[in-house]
Structures are given as structure tokens and as C-alpha cells.
Chains A and B, each alone.
Chain A
Amino acid sequence: MKNITLGRYLPYDTWIHRLDPRFKIIAMIALLVCVFQPLPWIVNGFLALVILVLLLMSRVKISSIFKSLKAMWFMILVILIFNVILIRTGEVLFTIFDYPIYTKALLQTATIAVRLTLMISITTILTATTRPLDLTYGLEFFMTPLKVIKFPAHEIAMTISIALRFIPTLLEETEKIMKAQASRGVDLKGGTFKQKINGIIALIIPLFVSSFQRSEELANAMEARGYNPSGKRTRYRTLKFHAGDLVGLIVTTVIVALVFIAIYNPALIGIGGLV
């Protein structure tokens, strides 16, 4: 259970780790928007290069990205099948049993696979380099203006941070109960279908019981310390915008600008002939 690597915070101290979470959230959204544009291959390649550099800088293992792709091959396969059936334009690449396969179908699937990979990489960079709590502080910052329309920004941020805080606890608990039930002969990997279902019940019920208990205890503990959701509060760690964030912001803006120029006016940056 502890072996879940995707989306996990990595406690290093790199330049990207030290950036302001608010900036990182903006940069992530900007890059995601770029990735999902109908891009010519050369621009896609440029974006992939940028993201690769970011991955290396944040010390995320490239192999962990590919590991998470392994879980998606089935989805990509389904997309491939649909594309092969539905897309009937472009040149015929080859035929299987008299069924023509069009180049466009394969290209389209490849594009989706690349986009998914880049998307996973971008979000992994964010979660691997930002403490979950900093992330919620960042989100709260962006939600605060919505308070004007009575949007419960603080409450939502608190709920998210509690949820994030308890993910490792719940994983630990799951692991413990799994082991306890495995000691009583539960075999979630082998065993018949019925045995597996029984095993899952033996896991989920105790997990629910202890979660409810825990949430009640937490609510009591918070109330005992005078927690009031509508009260005004200060923070131990405040977010500050540093020089590094400014550099990051400029770099991101340049990248986004380049990408959009490449889409709408490729001649401007001299790649007109390549698109």
C-alpha cells in the first residue's frame, strides 16, 4: 500500500519545491491548456521537452510516470479500437483481413496517448513538489474572492485539507486490516470470485467503522479547541511570492505565448513551413 508512487509528495528540496503553490497551480493549468490544444507535432515535441526538463528538475522518476501509464494501456486500447472503427479518412496504411486501417486513426490515438502522458506528468510534478497542505492553501487563495457570493471557501479548503491529511492514515489502516484479515485466511489475489467478494467485505466494513469513529473524534477534538468555521484565522506558514516565482511566471508566460503563436500564426516564429 505504501508503494503508491503516483501523486505522492516527494520530500526533496529543489527549486520547483520552493516555488509558491499559487504560482504552481496557475502554471499547471496553463500547461494543461497548452497540452490539450490541437498542436502540430513540432510544438508537441517542444512541450514534451519542457515537461521532461521540469520532471528532471523536480526529481520525479521518469519510470514512475511510465508505471502509471501501464494502468492506462487498456483505456488507450479501447480508444484505438474506436478510432480504427470510426475514423475513415486519410490514407490507408495497411489492411487486416480486408479491413482498411487509416493513418489518421493511428495518429489520433497516438496524439491522445501523448496528451495523457503529458497530463499525468504535469499533475505529478505539481503533487510531487507541493505539500498537500500548501496545495489547499493555494486553492483557498483562489477561492477567497468567491466569498462575496457566500461561497464557503474556507470550509471547503478545510475539508480538503482534512481529507488529504487522512489519506495516508486510511491507507495505513487499510493495510493493517488487510494484514489482519490475511492472517485469518483472506486471499484477495487468489481464491474464487466469492472468496474475493467476502474478502473485500471483511476489509471495507472495519474500514468504515473506524473512519466514522475517527471523524467523530476529530470533530470533538476540533470543537474542544474552539474551532469556529466562520471565525477569522491567521496561519503559521504564510505564502510569499519570491523572486523565483517571478522567474517561473515569466518562463511560463513565454512558453504559453510560443505555443499559442505556433497555433495561430506559425510564420511569426519561423516554423510556418513545418506546420
Chain B
Amino acid sequence: MPVTFNNVSYIYLPHSPYEHVALKHVNLKIEDQEFVAIIGPTGSGKSTLLQHINGLLLPSEGSINVNEYTITPKTKVRSIRNLRREAGLVFQFPEYQLFEANVHDDIAFGPKNFGVPAAEIEERINSLMTTVGLPTSLLERSPFELSGGQKRRVALCGILAMNPSILVLDEPTAGLDPRGGAKSLNLIKKLNEEQGKTIILVTHEMDIVLEYCQRVILLIDGEVKADGKPADIFMNQELLAESKIVQPQVLQVATRLIKGGLKLDYRNIKNAEDLANEIARVKKGGVSK
């Protein structure tokens, strides 16, 4: 079932000198199995938006529908507890949430809290370690002994072990080297394509958005400024200038080539390889000088 935001507003610390309106009348609908990126400058309300999806924050105004749950300002947290299992939220730097004596117990922590039978937890842990590419020999080690990248994958396993149908990620590649970042995104893509999970992620890396996501939602000052296909949004020069979003690198090149007279179709370009293919396609078609 889709995720729907109906006129959602959120105010931090209302009626105090620190009052801050983080979301202003947000309306959104994210369909099942979509791969959506939420972008926007710092302080635009991205993380606040994410935390509404699994009921960590309740809206100050409006309502949210996720699967069969409805969240309103008056919702009791207890009544939406199972929503947290269905919409798995992976925070920025999730390695900080590790605490158990060994990796196995840490991954089992989430599903155990939601009453998943022990035998099934074992099964999930074993298959997840393969999915995220960690050797099962790590299961007995302390999570604090692992490398940064490994810790992050263990933390991701801890959320995936609850088998959520919606996966929400806040800056999944922050602090990872380019290869580690690409690895985790390919993993997320696999979860989307093979297991049909809805993916909603926040990122500052526009190259990633272009290459992996089907749809972009641009938030500015708590309002939805744009919503559409990545290529269309990243080629909208007015919008880019206004929102101070940096165009993905391949599209920067493409924009110059198009300006120079090459009739590229930017909708076909998601990464460097696509760009090369597109140039080849146009050249073969015979472009007159």
C-alpha cells in the first residue's frame, strides 16, 4: 500500500522562542515499489519528513497513511508500533545504534522486539549476511571491532532483519568511500528490484539520485518545491538556480554538449556510460557541423 501525506505540517517546540516550522502543508503520494529520493538544502525538512513515515514524529497538522496505518496528531504511539517493523528506518550513521555483545545479537534485536520466532530470525540473519556481502564468521565478533563500512552494513542488516516492506534511508552513503557508496546503493537497488521493497532515501549526492532513483522530491523550507523524474528536474535550469542544487556531473557535460549543438536526449542519460552511448548514437546518426 502506498505512503500518502495529506496536508502535513510539523512544528518543533511550538509556543517557545525555539519554535520552528519544519514542514508546511506537504502533500505526497509514494506508490509501492517506487525508488524515491528526497533532496533539498540542509534544514529543509528532509529528515523530519522521513521520521513521519514510521511514526517517530506525529504531524502537528494533517495526516499520513502508510500501509493500513493512519497517523494523525492525536495518534497513540502504541497503536502504530507495528508500523515501525513495516517501514524500516535507517538513520544517518546507523553504526551508532550498535550495542549488543556480538553482531548476531545486534541484528536479532529488532526482529526479537517484534516477536519474530527464533528459528526464523536465524534464517533471516544467514541470508542477510550473504545479501549485504559479509562473511558469517563476523557473527560472533563484537560490532565495535568491525571497520566503518562493515558496521554500517551490520546496522542495515538490523533493520532488514525486520523484513520491512518500505525501506527509509537517511543519507545512506554519508562518510563512505565512493566504492563503498556504490556497493550499498547497488544493494538497495537489488532490494527494490528483487524483493519489491519501496525505497525512500534522503541524499545530498545528485549523481546517485540520477543514476538510481525513479523519482525526486525537492523540499525547500519545508515545502515540496518540485516532484518528478530526476532527468527533468536536473535539466530545469531555472529550478536549479533557484534551489541551489548542483547538477549531476554527467548532466553538466550533457548540458554543455547540447548547448554546443549536439542533439542529445538527456532522458537516456543516467551515468557516464549512458552519456558515452548517447554521444555515439547521435554521432552515428550523422550530425552535420
Which residues 70-100 in B have Cβ within 8 Å of A in the complex? 77-78, 81, 84-85, 88-89, 91, 94, 96-99
Contacts of A73 in B (CB 8 A): none
Assembled-state Cα–Cα distance A11/B89 (Å) = 34
Q: In the bound complex, do residue B13 and residue A189 qualify as a contact, i.e. CB atoms below 8 Å apart?
A: no
Interface string of A184-219 (1 = CB under 8 A from B): 111101100001000001100110011000000000
Q: In the bound complex, do residue A184 and residue B110 qualify as a contact, i.e. CB atoms below 8 Å apart?
A: yes
The verdict on B51 contacting chain A, using a C-beta distance below 8 Å, is yes
CB distance from B210 to the nearest CB of A (A): 28
Contacts of B85 in A (CB 8 A): 185
Contacts of A186 in B (CB 8 A): 113
Assembled-state Cα–Cα distance A10/B158 (Å) = 40
Assembled-state Cα–Cα distance A11/B19 (Å) = 12
Partner of B13, one of A3, A12, A201, A205: A3
CB distance from A65 to the nearest CB of B (A): 15
Contacts of B18 in A (CB 8 A): 2
Q: In the bound complex, do residue B81 and residue A185 qualify as a contact, i.e. CB atoms below 8 Å apart?
A: yes
Contacts of A202 in B (CB 8 A): 97, 99, 109
Interface string of A165-196 (1 = CB under 8 A from B): 00000000000110111111111011000010
Q: In the bound complex, do residue B162 and residue A184 qualify as a contact, i.e. CB atoms below 8 Å apart?
A: yes
User: Considering residues A10, A180, A186, A195, which has the most beta carbons from chain B within 10 angstroms of its beta carbon?
Assistant: A180
Number of chain A residues close to chain B: CB under 8 A: 26
Q: In the bound complex, do residue B78 and residue A190 qualify as a contact, i.e. CB atoms below 8 Å apart?
A: yes
Contacts of A206 in B (CB 8 A): 96-99
Assembled-state Cα–Cα distance A205/B91 (Å) = 17
Contacts of B158 in A (CB 8 A): 184
User: Considering residues B77, B109, B112, B113, which has the most beta carbons from chain A within 10 angstroms of its beta carbon?
Assistant: B113
| Given known contacts A185-B113, A209-B144, A176 and B81 CB-to-CB distance under 8 angstroms | no
CB distance from A166 to the nearest CB of B (A): 16
Contacts of A182 in B (CB 8 A): 56, 84
Assembled-state Cα–Cα distance A157/B28 (Å) = 51
Contacts of B89 in A (CB 8 A): 180, 183
Q: In the bound complex, do residue B84 and residue A10 qualify as a contact, i.e. CB atoms below 8 Å apart?
A: no
Assembled-state Cα–Cα distance A11/B12 (Å) = 17
CB distance from A183 to the nearest CB of B (A): 4
The verdict on B125 contacting chain A, using a C-beta distance below 8 Å, is no
Contacts of B12 in A (CB 8 A): 2
CB distance from B177 to the nearest CB of A (A): 20
Assembled-state Cα–Cα distance A195/B113 (Å) = 8
Assembled-state Cα–Cα distance A229/B11 (Å) = 43
A-B contact pairs, 25 of them (CB 8 A): A2-B13, A176-B91, A177-B97, A179-B56, A180-B91, A180-B94, A180-B97, A181-B97, A183-B54, A183-B88, A184-B84, A184-B109, A184-B159, A185-B110, A185-B114, A185-B162, A189-B78, A195-B113, A202-B99, A202-B109, A205-B99, A206-B98, A206-B99, A209-B144, A210-B96
19 more CB-based (< 8 A) A-B contacts, given A182-B84, A183-B91: A5-B16, A177-B97, A179-B56, A179-B91, A183-B54, A183-B88, A183-B89, A184-B97, A184-B110, A184-B113, A185-B85, A185-B114, A189-B77, A190-B78, A202-B97, A202-B109, A205-B99, A209-B96, A209-B99
Chain A residues close to B by CB (< 8 Å): 2-3, 5, 10-12, 176-177, 179-187, 189-190, 195, 201-202, 205-206, 209-210
- Shortest 5 CB-CB distances between A and B: which pairs? A185-B113, A184-B110, A205-B99, A180-B97, A183-B89
